[in-house]
Chain A
Amino acid sequence: MFRTASVLAALAAVLVATMPVGGLAQNAPPSRLDDLLDRYAAGREPDLIATTFPDHVTFLDWRVELFTRAREWRESWQPVGATLLLEISFWGARQGWPEAYLISRAAEDLVTGRQAVLGAAPAQDQFEITFHRAALAWLVGARSLGQAEEYLRRVGNRLASASEPDAGDNRLRDPRVALTHGILAEAWTAPGALAPMSGSTRLPALAADARDGETRAHLGRALAALDSAAALPEVAEEATVRRAFVLHRLGRDEEALAALGLENAPADSTVRYWRHLFLGRVFEALARPAEAAAAYRAAADDWRGAQTPAVALAALFQRQGRAADARRWARVAGTAPLEVIDPWWHYWSGDLRFLPEWMADLRRSDP
């Protein structure tokens, strides 16, 4: 029965894919939005969104047309429209537009409202996965953690309601989305996440204290999710390193040390760098300062010019009474080359570091 349904779904997808571009869109007069979509798909104007919508007033002039056309793009399955909308929502969020969230929801509706059922059109499934990755990366990176939680819930519900849950589940069980569950749970304990506008004065992160119950609960959830993600080969290294940092923050330093003792250095240079930093933290917590210094030096060697290992070494030496060494490393930290982007700055931003690559993939793909 499932096979029959799959065939029908595949046929339906083929039909949809080979249909002329939808009636509404085709019958509508060419608009400035069509022109914008073409130029966006061509990908030759990196500042296209910013120059098209320099301010909110300009956006308001496009708003009705944009939402109307979003529905048409869904009917006629023009996925690049979703990518364009997502990119506009990012820009709008940065500018503080109140419609930014609605724009991203319109983009999401376009993708998840496709006619091909889950599992029936692999290229469309892949597009949807990348779309979810990108949307989640943005939400976590922007510290919109509540919205990110809702997004993950919607993705989960979509899988549960799929006509063919097995097929859909398999194709949409994306390792990075799985990892995002762990990243997101820990992000709730990131600096500022628990106390951004509330007047609270907690210093929730990085203290390796996890003293308050709320923080501990989030870290417990993070640990469970990262445990699961660590079983997925594509994200195992990052999940393991992030999991070790959570263990350290929970005061379980021996376990953290064991987790960081990977057989092979992580292939992802950012994850490798994080591992060195976290080893330094764990060794400090275990009162093994020489090994901590060695780990921080390895981070500095691995990512030349990065600020954070120098800060860590300066603080470590200062506390050991090694004033000259401390000052030397403080100087290194304060004069780090401007062109060097320290991967530590990405840690709390989840997959934001991949966003440009994923958005480029989405813009180019035509499933």
Chain B
Amino acid sequence: MRIFKAVVSALLVITFIALLLSAYTQYKTNMSVAGLVDASSSLANHIALKTLAYEEGGYTKEYVVDPQKIPLLDFRQEIGGENFAFQVTLRYTAGTEHVLGPYGPATPSEKAVSNITVPITVFDNYRFETGKMEVKVWRV
């Protein structure tokens, strides 16, 4: 009986340690994925409000993307002490759908990539057209 108790107690301790390790790994994965998703939201927001925002007479028009500014984009950004790379694709409707891009480095196959598509306004040919901006983000 004593041997049985000792063996069961040891098994329970081992099981508990295994559970702790497994839960910690899952927690780390969840937090990493959530961080990547938040980074993609943050980057898309930054691009639409600042980096690619259309400027007119020294005045920045937020939420309006100027495709002419795409060559100015730096496709690597540091957010919260982590480095991210991203790729941008613009789509907009002006009679038919126009697709610009993808711009930036190719998405890696071995890393987790977060993808966000936000509705935006695209300045094209002196008109504000309905569009979408797709941003793919991954850690580097």
B is a partner of A? no
Which residues in A have some Cβ–Cβ distance to B below 8 Å? Answer: none
Which residues in B have some Cβ–Cβ distance to A below 8 Å? Answer: none
